[in-house]
Amino acid sequence: MDDYTLARVLHILAIVPWIGGVAFVTTVLMPAIRRNTPPRERLAAFHRFEAGFAWQARLWVGLAGLSGFWMIHRADLWYRFFDLHFWWMHAMVVVWAVFAAMLYGIEPLFLHRRMEQSGSPERDFARMERMHRILLSASLIAVAGAMAGAHGLI
């Protein structure tokens, strides 16, 4: 197996648990917390569950980024970022960058501390749930576009 094929395998192996985890949190965990937890306790309940996901999310996002950038470099695909026919390449990078910024920077450095001091955890939970829905939608569009683009459908 050559290094490009290995990078592609690692890329897909990273994407599946990463986006699958986002889908689980967005469509199962957060609605369950909303249904079964009083509004002022929802944010704390989410953080209790999130602790088990955070290191996994960082691992998968990191691996997706490294393998993705390796494939771009190895196959010299930089030109695709200057051609809007490859919009899905832009979408993948934007989705990755948002998650990387959140997981490696914004959450650990600022967001968790702000939420701990929040005077309205119910509003923070609702905002976080909305953001997860937006990010899941953007992620699924990027994945669908990437698969269709990689196989010549678009």
Q: What is the pLDDT of residues 85-135, one digit of tens each?
A: 999 999 999 999 999 999 999 988 887 777 777 788 899 999 999 999 999
Whether the pTM exceeds 0.85: the reply is: yes
- The three-state secondary structure class of 76 is coil
pLDDT band at 82 (very low <50, low <70, confident <90, very high): very high
For residue 56, pLDDT over 90 is answered with yes
Per the CB < 8 A criterion, the answer to whether 149 and 88 are in contact is yes
Angle at 93 between CA 89 and CA 96, to 5 degrees: 140
Q: Give the pLDDT score at 119.
A: 82
